[in-house]
């Protein structure tokens, strides 16, 4: 190709270096995240929480199931039980740490499932359009007829309580909003010119979804999913609070909140304590989600 004019370059060395860096979208998002102090702090807190909860035995000294009537409702600062004891005499601190396992599990897993199922259905509906879109969106509308807590109560109330049903119920509650946002984002994406160009190369639906739609819609969906986790934690604890979630004698923040209600008149501080964990965890996920959103709002 001798005759094609070469493109004049500003500074070959600089251009080469930049080209080799291959600054993609996700790299720049990562870079922005690294610079966002608040989000990093939140992520650090969450990681610490996760470690504490997984390696609970290292952080606690008492068995969360070991109760004694003699030790009932000891106040904060009681020797040996630094956060006091609950209504059955179990160490509150241990129960809060061990309770984190179930609370986090019940809050995060539903969002994960909803993301997998709802994300796929939503992107498919958005891209495919037509009958597939109608069918999926109509089913979503039926689920949307319930306020989320009501749907969760319907499932756990009728089918029974327990961790499994809680995760099922919350997944069902979260799938509709994820379908909605995935569908909306991917419907917008599929009108973009480069998707039309991809179709012009004879590609089928799945390949286009994989190479062209997914990497353009993942951002907003992930941001939304992270904010859903914070709601999930609150709802999961709420279900346990109602007696529909995790069953006793397991430790779980919402369940503890419910059990300690009877202790409200004796020691209001202890009764309110488990809620603090719910609040802190939910807040961290919310701030993380905000940080992600700001980092991803990158002008290309």
Residue 18 binding another protein, by CB under 8 A: yes
**294 near another protein, rule: CB under 8 A:** no
Contacts to another protein from residues 135-174, by CB under 8 A: 138-139, 141-143, 145-150, 153-155, 157-160
Give me 228's structure tokens: 């859903």
Q: Pick from 54, 134, 268, 297 the residue near another protein by CB under 8 A.
A: 268
Q: Using the rule CB under 8 A, give the single segment among 44-52, 93-101, 124-132, 198-206 that binds another protein.
A: 198-206
Peptide bond between residue 271 and the one before it cis (omega within 30 degrees of 0):
no
Q: Does 300 bind another protein (CB under 8 A)?
A: yes
Q: Which CA distances in Å does 50 have to 44, 101, 300?
A: 10, 8, 35
Q: What are phi and psi of 91, to 5 degrees?
A: -65, 125
Burial of 88 (0-12, 13-18, 19+ CB in 10 A): middle
What single DSSP character describes residue 75?
Answer: P
Choosing from 92, 163, 244, 251, the residue that interacts with another protein (CB under 8 A) is 244
Residues 20-79 that bind another protein (CB under 8 A): 20, 22-25
How many residues of this chain interact with another protein, rule: CB under 8 A? 78
Member of 173, 229, 234, 292 binding another protein (CB under 8 A): 234
Q: Which CB atom, from 23 or from 31, has the smaller least distance to another protein?
A: 23
Contact between 238 and another protein per CB under 8 A:
yes
String of contacts with another protein for each residue 101-140, x by CB under 8 A: -------------------------------------xx-
Query: In sequence order, what are the beta bridge partners of 85?
Result: 91
Q: Is there binding between residue 222 and another protein (CB under 8 A)?
A: no
- Nearest CA to 235 out of 148, 140, 130, 128 is that of 148
Length of the chain (residues): 300
Q: Is 175:115 a contact under the CB 8 Å cutoff? A: no
């Amino acid at each position: 190709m001798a005759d094609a004019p070469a493109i004049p370059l500003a500074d070959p060395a600089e251009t080469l270096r930049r080209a080799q860096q291959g600054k993609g979208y996700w790299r720049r998002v990562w870079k922005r995240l690294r610079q966002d102090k608040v989000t990093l702090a939140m992520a650090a807190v969450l990681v610490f929480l996760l470690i504490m909860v997984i390696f609970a035995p290292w952080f606690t000294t008492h068995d969360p199931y070991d109760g004694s009537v003699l030790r009932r409702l000891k106040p904060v600062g009681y020797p040996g039980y630094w956060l006091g004891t609950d209504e059955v005499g179990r160490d509150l601190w241990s129960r809060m740490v061990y309770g984190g396992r179930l609370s986090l599990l019940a809050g995060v897993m539903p969002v994960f499932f909803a993301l997998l199922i709802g994300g796929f259905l939503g992107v498919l509906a958005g891209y495919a359009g037509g009958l597939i879109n109608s069918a999926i969106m109509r089913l979503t509308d039926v689920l949307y007829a319930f306020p989320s807590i009501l749907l969760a109560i319907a499932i756990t109330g009728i089918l029974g309580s327990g961790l499994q049903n809680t995760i099922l119920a919350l997944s069902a509650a979260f799938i509709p909003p994820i379908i909605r946002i995935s569908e909306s984002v991917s419907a917008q994406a599929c009108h973009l010119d480069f998707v039309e160009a991809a179709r012009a190369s004879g590609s089928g639906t799945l390949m286009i979804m994989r190479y062209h739609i997914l990497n353009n819609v993942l951002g907003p969906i992930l941001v939304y999913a992270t904010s859903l986790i914070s709601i999930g934690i609150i709802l999961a604890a709420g279900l346990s609070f109602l007696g529909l979630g995790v069953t006793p004698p397991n430790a779980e923040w919402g369940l503890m909140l419910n059990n300690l209600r009877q202790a409200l008149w004796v020691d209001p501080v202890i009764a309110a304590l488990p809620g603090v964990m719910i609040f802190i965890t939910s807040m961290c996920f919310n701030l993380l989600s905000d940080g992600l959103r700001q980092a991803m709002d990158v002008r290309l």
